[in-house]
Amino acid sequence: IFRDYISGFPKETDMILSTTGTISLKVPEGSDSILLKNLYLSCDPYMRARMTISDSYLPEFVPGSPISGFAVSEVLDSGNPNFKKGDYVWGFSGWEQYSLIDNPDPSSLIKIDYTDVSLSYFTGILGMPGLTAYAGFNKLASPKKGESVYVSAASGAVGQLVGQFAKLMGCYVVGSAGSKEKVDLLKNKFGFDDAFNYKEESDLTAALKRYFPKGIDIYFENVGGKMLEAVLQNMAVHGRITVCGMISQYNLEKPEGVHNLTQLVLKRVRMEGLNVSDHYHLYPEFMELMKQYFMDEKLVYVEDMVEGLENAPAALIGLFTGQNIGKQVVKVSHE
């Protein structure tokens, strides 16, 4: 349950675990609702914005009500013609064991018909973060073979896939992350050409110069702040920046200003914001591509799974201190 609006870093106590009495595992007679058993919950950085009254693109959480977010769920009962008992779906649900969804929208609660991988993948690589990587890199950034790509927060849900897409496209890819373990993953598991721990670099501009002596053609922005300023100094002429997120700013009372924007003019750089919800029409083509990649064993995926709804608050806030190694998922129930 969401306690109340916050400022600064979220805390575990901003969420309350609550147990209700016995519930009916049937939808109300004559209703068009569906009853979901939630299996996996997705922890996503955008959820922080919903803990504050802001002009974010999703409504704020309601104090005293369950947190909502992306999940993978099983339909236990349905009064709706678009869903039937036994279907698996991914999309918006509640942070609870069972959710009753009134008038579910089939475009935002998507049926899962690919079962060659764990269902939990639909919170990450085959769900919203996966589509974010695809739309933000393959489409918005217009990548070409041989280009130099830099990804920040590179070992996370979105970043690990962006790096692999870039390698599959024949690009040179460098990622940054906040620990040695994550840097090792980037280099030895995800196949990045190089990687560094940004926390160990006192001069980020100089660090990027080392990895990109001829400049960065594509920057996949997940972090913002000082990282973006350093990147701007290192962009190549006609470079592209996909602004996917700026997690370093989400908990600040006042977001930092950004220097070096004149580099956009000097280098004729295109900088474009991304909202994955504009790109759901790409989901079918994305899935076809992903199925082929999985069949050809061209992708690897790392998720960080905790078990139990009671551990969801800690998992969510851990995103903002980099505790997660890979996609952060909470397993709520057995399939």
Binding segment (CB under 6 A) for ligand NDP, from list 60-68, 114-122, 143-151, 314-322: 314-322
- The DSSP 8-state label assigned to residue 25 in this structure reads S
Q: How far is the CB of 216 from ligand NDP (least distance, A)?
A: 17
Q: How far is the CB of 32 from ligand NDP (least distance, A)?
A: 29
Q: Which lies closer to ligand NDP via its Cβ, residue 93 or residue 155?
A: 155
Q: Which lies closer to ligand NDP via its Cβ, residue 34 or residue 72?
A: 72
Backbone phi, psi, residue 160, to 5°: -65, -30
List CB contacts of 40: < 8 A, sequence separation 6 or more.
71, 72, 119, 120, 122, 123, 329, 330, 331, 332
Distance CA 98, CA 33 (A): 13
Q: Which lies closer to ligand NDP via its Cβ, residue 75 or residue 245?
A: 245
Structure-token match 């926390």, residue found: 199
Q: How far is the CB of 257 from ligand NDP (least distance, A)?
A: 16
Closest Cα partner for 224 from 197, 201, 186, 252?
252
Closest Cα partner for 247 from 319, 162, 196, 154?
319
User: How many of the chain's residues bind ligand NDP (CB under 6 A)?
Assistant: 29
Structure-token match 């678009």, residue found: 82
Site map 53..92 versus ligand NDP, x via CB under 6 A? ----------------------------------------
- The DSSP 8-state label assigned to residue 52 in this structure reads S
Among 93, 120, 123, 132, binds ligand NDP (CB under 6 A): 132
Does residue 99 touch ligand NDP according to CB under 6 A? no
**Would you say how long the chain is, in residues?**
335
Distance CA 290, CA 313 (A): 31
Pairing of strands 68-78, 34-42: antiparallel
Does residue 44 touch ligand NDP according to CB under 6 A? yes
Among 50, 182, 267, 331, binds ligand NDP (CB under 6 A): 182
Structure-token match 């064993």, residue found: 297
Distance CA 222, CA 85 (A): 38
Does residue 324 touch ligand NDP according to CB under 6 A? yes
Binding segment (CB under 6 A) for ligand NDP, from list 59-67, 78-86, 269-277, 288-296: 269-277
Binding segment (CB under 6 A) for ligand NDP, from list 206-214, 245-253, 257-265, 309-317: 245-253
Give the binding site for ligand NDP (CB under 6 A): 44-46, 129, 132, 153, 155-159, 177-179, 182, 222-223, 244-245, 247-248, 274-276, 319-320, 322, 324, 327
